[in-house]
């Protein structure tokens, strides 16, 4: 069987283990290493060599951010196609190193057995793994489903055409499309929009609703739109995509707001759980109407002794959430208990536009809708005198906005559209979890020049 059971040689077609992990994502691989290092018998099954280490390092977080970084460094006189080829080569080299490092993290743990093949449940806590012409039955005391998600097609005519790509395929174009149409207005769509605009494409983002980022406050959304527009991105709003026509020379995205001609089309319309081949009903594992595995606050499925971690359980599709999922399950498997996903407070997120947009907590609009008594501070990055770092690096787009409870002085939420936002948001999130007041953040002593010191000036303007 491929991977040839690196930790031990298979001598029978049946294997018993304490823990079976299906899928090499963040939560599952960390569980496997933690328990395996403690001497517990673990089997991890992965069906695809290209996904060793999980979605994040292979097709999502790491490689896309590497491409964003490469795109930001392109100079006007760099040839688009040659520059893209070098960027993709850099991306692939990085992914290869991370993939091998992830393999070694588990292959060097004696109690962990690695199996490559397609897993399918045949009964409670029992799977059959197919690898080529070989089959292996695995019976486990505990099972963790960790199969993640994949790009979801919207179900429109023409979506499988030769010029249509998902977020994985678009990372390996052999040339920069002169015109790129992106269907979708979420984080993936916006990251690729800014990236390819800097690679040299004329990018049009096609949004079904009235605007991108519909959950953000108007001033924050306007800030992101301005940065994208200045990068050359066109946003076509109130445009339902009806079909994609391809005449052999060009792809035309037909929408309710008009037609968009493109040399390449990206469908960034969400992600779907990878569960189709698992035969979950055979194990008594329930799913919701979208196909995500249903779990409770302890990540237990409807089947006894089976948990689901990471994106496949329908929670926030974030690597740090998957990592925390591992902690929730680990606390049960080690008998310590006491950890639940209900414990999560102030979880930060970042969309890696240029500059990035980081968010934690609630927006001003949400606070007002709840009838909360709040004070708000918001200031465009270009006008923050106490924050010279954006000017020093030549990226002054953005806005910093915080929402504070008027009575307790505690931060309820923040939107940070600025360079270094992915770092500063972690400080704000920690302050929210630890009960640090807005006044304490305002009066903090921060390094200079840094993006954190914007808090001194912005929070001084709470109204």
Verify that 383 and 398 share a domain, yes or no: yes
CA distances from 367 to 47, 166, 224, 403, 428 (A): 45, 36, 21, 8, 17
Helix, strand, coil shares of the chain, percent, nearest 5, are 35, 25, 40
The domain boundary residue, chosen from 343, 369, 396: 343
The string of pLDDT tens digits covering residues 123-162 is 999 999 998 888 999 999 999 999 999 999 999 999 999 9
* The predicted structure's pLDDT at residue 12: 43
Whether 313 is in a domain gets the answer: yes
pTM: 0.95
* The predicted structure's pLDDT at residue 133: 84
Q: Which of 340, 341, 418, 335 is nearest to 378 (CA)?
A: 418
Ranges assigned E (strand) in 68-212? 112-116, 118-123, 126-131, 134-145, 149-151, 164-165, 179-183, 202-206
Verify that 332 and 429 share a domain, yes or no: no
CA distances from 196 to 124, 230, 271 (A): 47, 13, 21
Verify that 260 and 238 share a domain, yes or no: yes
Whether 332 is in a domain gets the answer: yes
* Enclosing domain of residue 410: 349-461
Q: Flag residues of the chain having pLDDT under 50.
A: 2-12
Sequence-distant (6+) residues with CB within 8 A of 336 are none
Whether 9 is in a domain gets the answer: no
Verify that 285 and 257 share a domain, yes or no: no
Verify that 226 and 325 share a domain, yes or no: no
| CATH classification at residue 361 | 3.30.390.30
Domain count, the chain: 3
User: CB count, 10 Å around CB of 1?
Assistant: 18
- Strand pairing of 134-145 and 349-351? unpaired
Verify that 358 and 451 share a domain, yes or no: yes
Q: Is 314 left (phi over 0), alpha (psi -120 to 50) or beta?
A: left
Beta carbons of 431 and 365 less than 8 angstroms apart? no
Kindly state the DSSP code that residue 335 receives in the 8-state scheme: T
Whether 170 is in a domain gets the answer: yes
Whether 106 is in a domain gets the answer: yes
Residue 17's Cβ-side half-sphere holds a number of Cα atoms within 13 Å equal to 32
Verify that 58 and 135 share a domain, yes or no: yes
What residues are labeled active site?
448
Whether 1 is in a domain gets the answer: no
Report the C-alpha gap between 102 and 24 in whole angstroms.
Answer: 9
For the purposes of burial, counting CB atoms within 10 Å of the CB of 11, is it exposed (0-12), middle (13-18) or buried (19 or more)? exposed
Verify that 107 and 242 share a domain, yes or no: no
* Helices 187-199 and 61-72, packing angle to 10 deg: 30
Verify that 292 and 362 share a domain, yes or no: no
Whether 65 is in a domain gets the answer: yes
Verify that 265 and 276 share a domain, yes or no: no
| CATH classification at residue 137 | 3.50.50.60
Report the C-alpha gap between 221 and 210 in whole angstroms.
Answer: 12
Beta carbons of 250 and 158 less than 8 angstroms apart? no
* The predicted structure's pLDDT at residue 132: 84
The domain boundary residue, chosen from 211, 239, 269: 269
Report the C-alpha gap between 393 and 410 in whole angstroms.
Answer: 32
Verify that 247 and 326 share a domain, yes or no: no
Verify that 261 and 237 share a domain, yes or no: yes
CA distances from 233 to 32, 172, 188, 197 (A): 43, 21, 14, 6
Residue 1's Cβ-side half-sphere holds a number of Cα atoms within 13 Å equal to 29
Sequence-distant (6+) residues with CB within 8 A of 389 are 419, 420, 449, 450, 451
Whether 8 is in a domain gets the answer: no
The domain boundary residue, chosen from 208, 242, 269: 269
């Amino acid at each position: 069987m491929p991977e040839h059971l690196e930790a031990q040689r298979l001598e029978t077609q049946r294997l018993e283990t304490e823990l079976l992990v299906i899928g090499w994502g963040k939560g599952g691989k960390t569980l496997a290493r933690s328990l395996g290092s403690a001497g517990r018998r673990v089997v991890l099954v992965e069906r695809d060599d290209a996904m060793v280490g999980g979605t994040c390092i292979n097709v999502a977080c790491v490689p896309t951010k590497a491409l964003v970084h490469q795109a930001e460094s392109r100079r006007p006189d760099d040839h688009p196609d040659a520059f893209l080829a070098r960027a993709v080569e850099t991306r692939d080299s990085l992914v290869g190193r991370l993939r091998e490092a992830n393999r070694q993290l588990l292959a060097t743990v004696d109690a962990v057995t690695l199996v490559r093949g397609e897993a399918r449940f045949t009964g409670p806590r029992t799977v059959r793994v197919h690898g080529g012409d070989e089959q292996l039955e695995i019976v486990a005391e505990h099972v963790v489903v960790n199969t993640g998600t994949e790009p979801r097609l919207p179900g429109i005519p023409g979506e499988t055409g030769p010029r249509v790509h998902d977020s994985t395929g678009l990372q390996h174009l052999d040339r920069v499309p002169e015109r790129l149409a992106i269907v979708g207005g979420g984080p993936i769509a916006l990251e690729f929009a800014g990236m390819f605009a800097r690679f040299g494409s004329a990018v049009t983002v096609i949004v079904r609703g009235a605007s991108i980022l519909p959950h953000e406050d108007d001033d924050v959304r306007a800030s992101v739109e301005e940065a994208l527009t200045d990068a050359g991105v066109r946003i076509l709003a109130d445009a339902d995509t009806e079909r994609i026509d391809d005449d052999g020379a060009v792809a035309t995205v037909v929408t309710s707001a008009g037609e968009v001609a493109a040399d390449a089309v990206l469908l960034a319309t969400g992600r779907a759980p990878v569960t189709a081949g698992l035969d979950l009903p055979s194990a008594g594992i329930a799913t919701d109407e979208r196909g995500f595995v249903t779990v409770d606050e302890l990540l237990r499925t409807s089947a006894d002794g089976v948990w689901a971690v990471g994106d496949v359980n329908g929670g926030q599709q974030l690597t740090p959430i998957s990592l925390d999922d591992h902690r929730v399950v680990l606390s049960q498997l080690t008998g310590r208990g006491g950890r639940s996903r209900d414990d999560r407070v102030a979880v930060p997120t970042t969309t890696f536009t240029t500059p990035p947009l980081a968010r934690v907590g609630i927006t001003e609009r949400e606070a007002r809708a709840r009838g909360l008594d709040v004070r708000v501070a918001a200031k465009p990055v270009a006008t923050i005198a106490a924050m010279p770092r954006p000017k020093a690096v030549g990226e002054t787009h953005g806005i910093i906005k915080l929402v504070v409870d008027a009575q307790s002085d505690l931060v309820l939420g923040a939107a940070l559209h600025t360079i270094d936002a992915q770092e500063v948001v972690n400080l704000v999130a920690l302050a929210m979890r630890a009960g640090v007041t807005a006044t304490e953040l305002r009066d903090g002593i921060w390094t200079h020049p840094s993006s954190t010191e914007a808090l001194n000036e912005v929070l001084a303007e709470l109204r």
